[in-house]
Amino acid sequence: MLTSERIAAIRREYRLAILDESSIAADPIEQLVHWLEEALHAEVPESTAMVLATADASGAPSARVVLLKGIENGRLHFYTNLESPKARDIAANPRVALLFYWAELERQVRIEGIAALLDHETVAEYFATRPRGAQIGAWASRQSAFLSSRQELEESVARYEHQFADTEQIPPPPWWGGYAVEPHAFEFWQGRQNRLHDRFRFERTTMGWSRQRLSP
């Protein structure tokens, strides 16, 4: 049985790597790209998956995984349904947090920033690269709305497959889009032995990025 004692006994020592003042980049975006490249190289599953935390107008938080789809001018891009709860949250409160966790590398990156809608051209360009099935899926799904059954969803897919049967280049649905998150803080965490982890926090200042080592 999975008792609390068994859960509490699950622990692991982190000893794969170190992160120190001599190896960390001065620019946190550069450091993020470097760690992402290492995660991809190490074939960490879903290396580009990141937890997106939002808060609604009343301050109630929620979190879910989305996929990083680009880094442009220091901003992190992801795509989603613009009528979803996360999009409603961002409309009310654009302050968000992002989190990458690469267990195989004993690394976490925390990011805080401001989300802004991507322009239609960028969205359309990305949408065109999605497999056709995923394009139809974006039309067929009212993300996070209640469904009476799986069949209801499959019927919606069939309707849009029919509607777009003669359309070579399916356009993005009007309710679908993306966001660019402009970070103002980062934390890089490298697991170390005896829970004495290496942590560095970056904050955007008028002079550029400040960097501090944090106690584990």
Ligand X SMILES: Cc1cc2nc3c(=O)[nH]c(=O)nc-3n(C[C@H](O)[C@H](O)[C@H](O)COP(=O)(O)O)c2cc1C
Binding footprint of ligand X on the chain (CB under 6 A): 46, 49, 62, 64-67, 78-81, 84-86, 143-144
**CA-based nearest residue to 73, from 38, 23, 22, 113:** 113
Catalytic residue among 195, 199, 204, 213: 195
- In the annotation, is 195 catalytic? yes
Smallest gap, in angstroms, from Cβ of residue 62 to ligand X?
6
Quote the Cα angle for 29-46-100, to 5°.
40
For ligand X, give the closer residue by CB, 19 or 118. Answer: 118
For ligand X, give the closer residue by CB, 79 or 202. Answer: 79
Smallest gap, in angstroms, from Cβ of residue 49 to ligand X?
4
For ligand X, give the closer residue by CB, 45 or 206. Answer: 45
Q: Is 142 exposed, middle or buried (0-12, 13-18, 19+ CB in 10 A)?
A: middle
Task: Encode 163-190: b = buried (16+ Cβ within 10 Å), e = exposed.
Answer: ebeeeeebebbeebbbbbbebebbbbbb
Smallest gap, in angstroms, from Cβ of residue 202 to ligand X?
25
Active site residues: 195
